Structure 1
């Protein structure tokens, strides 16, 4: 095989398919050089049957040893799955065995019964950093495992789920703070129906929460246990509503009675203060009525701004929410967190995720949206939304972390929230969001993204994000076609707050009729204050035969919004 007249591969014999039929044999090898020396893998593909196959991959890492890898895939009429794993016996640098395993299945088992599972495991915290075979896995810090059975009918559904998370963080205290609860198991049953304008149903969930305990150094060689509350939670929410939706607007009324009960195992000593004063009871019940009224109108005018075929709408919206206060200070926090205050959040019944906190409310949201619509196609060309919440009573329900940080809001109105999206032409688009607090005269959040496309092969992304005292970042990425065969690749993510580059990627792609080459250089931080890393990746692909080097395409799809593999510039 010659590239540019230069021989790059010698083989007395080569066999490969020329149609979509699969063929047993060696795939293109993977070759790399790094801090661990030579890294060489020779995958062998085994076409076992039309609906299942396997790939066996011996891998030599000169400074660590020989790793065995394998993948088994299967396909049937109701779904698909795979078993994927790696094993490195006696890593020469660490003097221990290291392994990775993944089991995945998605499909129908029986009529009305579905199984979705994705089980993951690695042997140690640095597995992906040392042995990961893609640019993305080196930054992995959390591995999730999930298995779910589900089914249902026309107006009801059920699910039985178990999930847990494997934290790939070396610091014990950091692991405890980031460690989410395991749900072993979670059962849910939901029913929703309608009769004319009436809506009614029930949402229900039962969860058993558990969490690993860690030993944190107390500074003197001792151990502080990080055990925390565990237990079972039942959440029931029957509702009744009515909806009227004529062509000129909508009116929706909804009443919900939410009941949540807990059976807790707190792992606290008998003489702890909350045991003595009774504030940490093992059984807790909370019942909260929720009432909401959502109304809106739609006004239209043709030939907006003097343009024929362009229609503008004006859509005012009022949303009233009432939830009485309930003392929830003794309820532990299993899976609840505050939602980001965005435009959509203005119309939610709870400002928290999960069931551990039901926010009290007596508030009215005033919002307006204006859209520009193409009369001929009906497409939305642009939309702008603005809204604000007026509080008749100050909220009193907060999470412990919010109270500790002094995040208590007794104002009579919220910050303004605005969103904009527009397709300025066939090639220009813009999206953005802003949260402005008139009482403090401060912008609490800002984000803006502008994208320009150059045909099918080129694009430019300009992005900016801002949160006071947290982050201020600029993000620029581009795919720049140079000629029919060459394209430059670029991404720069810069923290204006820390005045440092978070990630910089630069490289090029080359393609012709017979082969393609992709070369990337990456400089990045896994987190603020961590050691800066550098890497160079080369991928060479013979059209129809396979690639040599690390797969860079998936990384570029994540790094550059709108990325598509380079296909050359057509005449």
Structure 2
């Protein structure tokens, strides 16, 4: 509306009626900063999300009422009627209407005809609005509303606003879908919107999809923000070929600001009713989560009795020095995850960890105590328990000139339920001196360590396999290690475009041969907590062949290798290749036929990034002594603005598995005939901004059968999402059998999910469990 003399007249009349200093301006008058109100009226405060600070009664009364209209009529200084393009502003309230009547004594405004009302958190269009300009209590008739800070909109025959943050809606609708989208909505006789608690309460509500009623709920509360409130969450339902009809009813408990819980009743047609609980907490000692599941009687597996699962995870730092870690999980039986969907683990779990650790850390030393056990989800396997282990480490960098000193030690108690294995107390101490030297183009670090370990072992002396062990035995082994590298770069660019570097690396390691046969696992097989490490390129420069200290392998060897890197003009690494092997000075390497050999397998690793859309990672281990490829892996991925496609291949020879993995009877021949020959292809493609298609396929190229496949489609809009996934996974027979010696069988799963978006976290229906054990990974070393 152009500014006219009638607008000026109406504005001045408003000033006279309400006694607030207002200056009207037609653009020809310079307005002083202290009176910088410009006509036509403009505001930036209305409809902004942050809630303003509470103001006092005096401050609210002093806020000016700004009015603009084409004409007005005043009656005895008690009432004024404004007509034609009326615009009124007070604080963070704004009204536009065909006419507005102001009652001066009550400080009430009544707007009629095409009323556009705005406050700090709502905008509406209605036939009539009555508002108290002092308290901001407002009534709207036949309103179409939209919240400012949440994607909420709808219609109501009557809207009552009390205070700044409470709305009561009668005969109303509610949705988070954008205008014109009728995917879903709630309709209710009454709706209460509490902006402070960020929750909505519905009475006599029905849920509609495309205007078709789906579900009636006499009472329900839903979140409209991040705040929490006790109540029944939206139930979910579905059909599953494994469990039949499923219905889940979650109840949320807002116990305290730092505690909450969800209790879920899961009804499964073919199994029974399961109770599930989740408890979260935040304390001075850290944050954690507890989960519990209980199914009193599984109708499909009645011989297994009550089935349950529990887990506890905790992590925290207290007063900067104390650290606490807990990871505990246990289920009632080894097939729990194969039969039931669980928040504790997946069907691919081979074991569940049960560990706890508390440690104190300072600048120079740390002290830790930990306990660890496992629930192995395989019959007849009984691992060692660590009950407990106390570890002490001391660090003294440059304690004498450039010489560093480190001291590592621990006392460990090992126990097992396997009568064929010993239990033990192990004391280990390992002081180390090192002298790190370096310059811009080279580095050299000599190290000297002394490894002392004492064992007190308890075992059945009648067991012939343990006859070489001693109850009390000690072992002292010195170790010398020298590690050096040179960093070179070319003065000429490779292919005229890339800067090339060459980083030769060499290490000498000496560990004398010491008889360790009196220790369980002291001959390189098994042990209390030892396992053989993979000898890839990065493992060539380790000082140990095993993860624990039960067996310290003798060594008199040089590890040689080199890495070459290629950088573009922006000094971004585009390619690297690393290769190397170990040279045994006294033939201490052992080949497959137990003859000594002079070198290890060659190890090669490479990464490649072409123009940030084509990526490659690969690695091989080739044993020239046996003329055998032991391990190989390759991954090639092409990325585009719609998604990616990845092809990968994994190979591990049968002899490498035999030499490096420890098996219980009857041995590795019970698992595979030839080794691992696995090819996979994975892809994801996005159609527009809403559709996402993905697929995975894995195949055993030697046995010539499929391992896993998965296809899925997901639709994501502003107010709802839909997902459908199908998967096939190979399953082993009930009795152990050699892979390839039986006809493969598959378990098929379908997962359907429909979710409403915008009600706090996404809420909806999920049924089935279509997942794969072999999934997508980004194994690229280079930045990408």
TM-score using structure 2 length: 0.64
1:502 lines up with 2:690 in the alignment? no
1:155 CA drift (Å): 2.3
Contact between 1:164 and 1:181, CA under 8 Å: does it hold in 2? yes
Contact between 2:469 and 2:517, CA under 8 Å: does it hold in 1? no
SS at match of 1:346: helix
- Cα distance change on mapping 1:105 and 1:431 into 2, 3 Å: same
1:483 CA drift (Å): 3.4
Which residues in structure 2 correspond to 1:160-171 (within 5 Å)? 160-169=369-378, 171=379
Which of residues 765, 768, 782 is equivalent to 1:548?
765
* 1:452 matched residue in structure 2: 638
Worse overlay, 425-434 or 242-251: 425-434
- Cα distance change on mapping 1:14 and 1:90 into 2, 3 Å: closer
Comparing both chains, which one has the higher relative contact order based on Cα–Cα distances under 8 Å and sequence gaps of 6 or more?
1
SS at match of 2:306: strand
**CA distance, structure 2, for counterparts of residue 552 and residue 91 of structure 1:** 18
Q: Residue by residue, what CA displacement relative to the aligned partner does 1:328-354 show, whole Å, maximum 9, x if unpaired?
A: 223211111211111111111111110
* 2:386 matched residue in structure 1: 183
- Cα distance change on mapping 1:274 and 1:99 into 2, 3 Å: closer
**CA distance, structure 2, for counterparts of residue 364 and residue 98 of structure 1:** 55
**CA distance, structure 2, for counterparts of residue 559 and residue 539 of structure 1:** 20
- Cα distance change on mapping 1:194 and 1:374 into 2, 3 Å: farther
Contact between 2:727 and 2:772, CA under 8 Å: does it hold in 1? no
SS at match of 1:43: strand
1:23 lines up with 2:229 in the alignment? yes
Which of residues 708, 713, 720 is equivalent to 1:515?
720
1:233 lines up with 2:431 in the alignment? no
Contact between 1:539 and 1:552, CA under 8 Å: does it hold in 2? no
- Structure 2 unaligned regions, length at least 5: 1-183, 185-207, 521-526, 655-674, 733-738, 780-784
SS at match of 2:347: helix
Which of residues 396, 402, 412 is equivalent to 1:197?
402
**CA distance, structure 1, for counterparts of residue 396 and residue 593 of structure 2:** 39
- Cα distance change on mapping 1:502 and 1:62 into 2, 3 Å: same
* 2:276 matched residue in structure 1: 69
* 1:281 matched residue in structure 2: 470
1:347 lines up with 2:541 in the alignment? yes
**CA distance, structure 1, for counterparts of residue 212 and residue 428 of structure 2:** 69
* 2:457 matched residue in structure 1: 264
1:92 lines up with 2:279 in the alignment? no
1:369 CA drift (Å): 0.7
**CA distance, structure 1, for counterparts of residue 209 and residue 712 of structure 2:** 20
Contact between 1:418 and 1:433, CA under 8 Å: does it hold in 2? yes
1:407 CA drift (Å): 6.4
Q: Residue by residue, what CA displacement relative to the aligned partner does 1:183-227 show, whole Å, maximum 9, x if unpaired?
A: 1111111112211532211111211111123xxxxxxxxxxxx53
**CA distance, structure 2, for counterparts of residue 10 and residue 409 of structure 1:** 78
* 1:129 matched residue in structure 2: 338
SS at match of 2:599: coil
Which of residues 342, 360, 367 is equivalent to 1:151?
360
- Cα distance change on mapping 1:388 and 1:10 into 2, 3 Å: same
* 1:382 matched residue in structure 2: 575
Which of residues 537, 559, 568 is equivalent to 2:775?
559
Contact between 1:395 and 1:409, CA under 8 Å: does it hold in 2? no
**CA distance, structure 1, for counterparts of residue 353 and residue 221 of structure 2:** 40
Superposed CA RMSD: 2.5
**CA distance, structure 2, for counterparts of residue 465 and residue 198 of structure 1:** 44
Q: Residue by residue, what CA displacement relative to the aligned partner does 1:494-548 show, whole Å, maximum 9, x if unpaired?
A: 1112222111111111111211111111100245467421111111111123131
- Cα distance change on mapping 1:21 and 1:239 into 2, 3 Å: same
Which residues in structure 2 correspond to 1:214-229 (within 5 Å)? 226-229=419-422
Which of residues 274, 298, 312 is equivalent to 2:487?
298
Worse overlay, 5-14 or 87-96: 5-14
**CA distance, structure 2, for counterparts of residue 16 and residue 153 of structure 1:** 47
1:17 CA drift (Å): 2.5
Contact between 1:461 and 1:561, CA under 8 Å: does it hold in 2? no
1:181 CA drift (Å): 1.2
SS at match of 1:305: coil
Contact between 2:426 and 2:456, CA under 8 Å: does it hold in 1? yes
**CA distance, structure 1, for counterparts of residue 700 and residue 774 of structure 2:** 19
- Structure 1 unaligned regions, length at least 5: 214-225, 564-571
* 1:221 matched residue in structure 2: none
Contact between 1:133 and 1:550, CA under 8 Å: does it hold in 2? no
Contact between 2:221 and 2:232, CA under 8 Å: does it hold in 1? no
Worse overlay, 46-55 or 157-166: 46-55
* 2:438 matched residue in structure 1: 245
1:362 lines up with 2:556 in the alignment? yes
**CA distance, structure 1, for counterparts of residue 363 and residue 214 of structure 2:** 60
**CA distance, structure 2, for counterparts of residue 152 and residue 558 of structure 1:** 38
Which of residues 744, 749, 764 is equivalent to 1:535?
749
Worse overlay, 86-95 or 201-210: 86-95
1:112 lines up with 2:112 in the alignment? no
Contact between 2:286 and 2:324, CA under 8 Å: does it hold in 1? no
**CA distance, structure 2, for counterparts of residue 548 and residue 273 of structure 1:** 56
1:302 CA drift (Å): 4.8
- Cα distance change on mapping 1:544 and 1:3 into 2, 3 Å: same
Q: Which structure would you say has the larger Rg?
A: 2
Contact between 1:139 and 1:526, CA under 8 Å: does it hold in 2? no
**CA distance, structure 2, for counterparts of residue 14 and residue 274 of structure 1:** 67
1:210 lines up with 2:415 in the alignment? yes
Contact between 1:105 and 1:116, CA under 8 Å: does it hold in 2? yes
**CA distance, structure 1, for counterparts of residue 313 and residue 472 of structure 2:** 38
**CA distance, structure 2, for counterparts of residue 486 and residue 495 of structure 1:** 31
* 1:443 matched residue in structure 2: 629
**CA distance, structure 2, for counterparts of residue 45 and residue 146 of structure 1:** 29
- Cα distance change on mapping 1:375 and 1:136 into 2, 3 Å: farther
SS at match of 2:597: coil
Contact between 1:466 and 1:472, CA under 8 Å: does it hold in 2? yes
Count of residue pairs the alignment pairs up = 530
- Cα distance change on mapping 1:206 and 1:384 into 2, 3 Å: same
* 1:318 matched residue in structure 2: 506
* 1:465 matched residue in structure 2: 650
1:90 CA drift (Å): 2.9
Contact between 1:106 and 1:117, CA under 8 Å: does it hold in 2? yes
Contact between 1:134 and 1:551, CA under 8 Å: does it hold in 2? no
Worse overlay, 543-552 or 45-54: 543-552
